[in-house]
């Protein structure tokens, strides 16, 4: 793993903390890149004086990094209906072409772009474990290690969520040939988790969690046994699952189990605040209340859900209930945090024919979107929730250029509102992860190497 020198003290003229905005603050960072203190102070006493408005980096709670290689390949209208299911065929074709080297190269490129788009941590929902036909690599964790190596090269924090994927559909339907590279049984899956636990043990940049792919791809007995296995490991990390993205999978679930995916899951398993339900798109009011009672995070991926024609999650209803939510870049067609937040709000507006739906009365919607997505994202990683910087977090900072023309005469929440809805790339001047600068003046520090690696792989085809 790359080592780097951590800057110890930062001066921020304007800093978003969990308690609100603070002016003229000093943020102290320990040798491992974690925030040890936040206090009023002066620039002259600090190692680095940040020039602008300083906010925590966004958490990306759902990514499939390799899917960045699908950009530009899924727009051709077929002769029948185009939907999530036809897109999935294109994705499977891409999977078949990816070597471990390619997975690493495209992931590093994607992570570099995510950093430039305002994300400093990514939860990687990683299901591409094996070779074509399901042939195992010599190291069962080969592709997982490639993802971590890519994250290291880009300098982004990653919570790796290896995926348990055993069946093609409800009733333990056998996997298709194209799905064999995803396959794990419970025993091989638990062994993979143990391997990753060792690797991530002493890292502040890497963490891991658990991801049964979906109720259709994992059986009831597997889920129950997984819960027992995790309890024996005293596992306290995050658990993510795809839940109700498509109406077809909801119908199949009702046909097989006699209940929708959300009802079935919450009824059968001890679901709690460490669970993140990805794409709870098709839920009714009663299911939202059940999710709120269980205190889960709703994992929302607005641009992917739009791209795939999934539907619109009732986010304003969910927020009204006090439900936690965060954003993910999912297919990574879009790698920009502000764009996800903007489209989350716009989807609600288009549906409800009202404005500023995801803000409480008296609050600016852009700022509320950012702070709530941050808090929900932290919860989705099983970290303490916060709506700004707090002691104990990794020192992941975004510096917004307060001298940008569109920021002039604005301050605090207005800055966030302008950034999210204007969406201009050069408003974000610096990105820091764990007290190290990874993006300076819009350029990634390892851009040359990361770009060269992926270009060479594309040329070699």
> Nearest CA to 278 among 247, 300, 302?
300
User: Following CA atoms 280, 284, 289, 293 in sequence, which dihedral angle do they give, to the nearest 10 degrees?
Assistant: -40
Q: Which residue has the tokens 């250029």?
A: 401
Burial bucket for residue 80 (CB in 10 Å: 0-12, 13-18, 19+): exposed
Catalytic residue among 207, 310, 330, 401: 330
Three-state DSSP class for residue 386: coil
Burial bucket for residue 324 (CB in 10 Å: 0-12, 13-18, 19+): buried
Q: Which residue has the tokens 């991926």?
A: 301
Q: How many CB atoms lie under 10 A from the CB of residue 251?
A: 12
Q: How many residues does the chain have?
A: 461
> Nearest CA to 357 among 389, 330, 325?
325
Q: How many CB atoms lie under 10 A from the CB of residue 262?
A: 26
* Per-residue DSSP letter, 74: S
- 330 assigned to active site: yes
Catalytic residue among 279, 282, 404, 444: 279
**Rounded to 5°, angle at Cα 199 from 196 and 202:** 125
Burial bucket for residue 230 (CB in 10 Å: 0-12, 13-18, 19+): middle
Catalytic residues: 279, 330
């Amino acid at each position: 793993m790359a080592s780097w020198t951590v800057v110890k003290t930062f001066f921020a003229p304007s800093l978003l903390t969990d308690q609100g905005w603070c002016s003229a603050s000093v943020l102290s960072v320990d040798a491992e890149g974690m925030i040890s203190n936040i206090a009023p102070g002066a620039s002259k006493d600090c190692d680095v004086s940040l020039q602008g408005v300083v906010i925590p980096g966004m958490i990306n709670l759902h990514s499939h990094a390799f899917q960045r290689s699908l950009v530009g390949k899924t727009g051709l209208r077929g002769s029948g209906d185009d939907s999530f299911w036809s897109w999935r065929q294109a994705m499977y074709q891409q999977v078949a072409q990816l070597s471990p080297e390619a997975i690493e190269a495209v992931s590093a490129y994607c992570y570099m772009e995510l950093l430039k788009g305002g994300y400093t941590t990514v939860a990687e929902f990683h299901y591409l474990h094996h070779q074509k036909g399901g042939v195992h690599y010599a190291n069962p964790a080969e592709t997982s290690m490639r993802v971590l190596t890519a994250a290291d090269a880009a300098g982004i924090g990653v919570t790796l969520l290896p995926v348990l994927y055993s069946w093609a559909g409800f009733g333990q339907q056998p996997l298709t040939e194209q799905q064999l590279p995803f396959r794990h049984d419970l025993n091989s899956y638990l062994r993979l988790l143990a391997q990753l636990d060792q690797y991530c043990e002493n890292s502040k940049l890497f963490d891991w969690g658990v991801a049964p792919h979906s109720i259709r791809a994992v059986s009831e007995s597997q889920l129950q046994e997984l819960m027992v296995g995790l309890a024996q490991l005293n596992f306290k990390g995050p658990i993510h699952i795809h839940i109700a993205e498509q109406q077809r999978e909801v119908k199949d679930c009702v046909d097989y189990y006699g209940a929708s995916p959300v009802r079935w899951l919450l009824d059968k398993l001890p679901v709690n605040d460490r669970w993140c339900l990805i794409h709870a798109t098709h839920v009714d009011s009663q299911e939202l209340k059940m999710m709120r009672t269980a205190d889960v995070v709703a994992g929302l991926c607005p641009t992917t859900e739009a791209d795939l024609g999934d539907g619109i999650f009732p986010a304003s209803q969910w927020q009204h209930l006090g439900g936690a939510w965060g954003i993910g870049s999912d297919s990574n067609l879009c790698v920009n945090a502000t764009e996800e937040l903007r489209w989350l709000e716009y989807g609600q507006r288009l549906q409800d024919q009202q404005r500023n739906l995801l803000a409480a009365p008296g609050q600016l919607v852009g700022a509320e979107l950012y702070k709530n997505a941050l808090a929900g994202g932290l919860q989705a990683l099983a970290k303490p929730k916060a709506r700004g910087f707090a002691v104990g977090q990794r020192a992941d900072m975004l510096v917004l250029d307060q001298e940008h023309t569109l920021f002039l005469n604005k301050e605090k929440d207005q800055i966030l509102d302008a950034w999210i809805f204007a969406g201009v790339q050069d408003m974000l001047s610096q990105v820091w992860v764990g007290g190290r600068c990874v993006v300076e003046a819009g350029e990634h520090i390892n851009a040359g190497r990361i770009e060269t690696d992926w270009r060479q792989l594309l040329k070699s085809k």
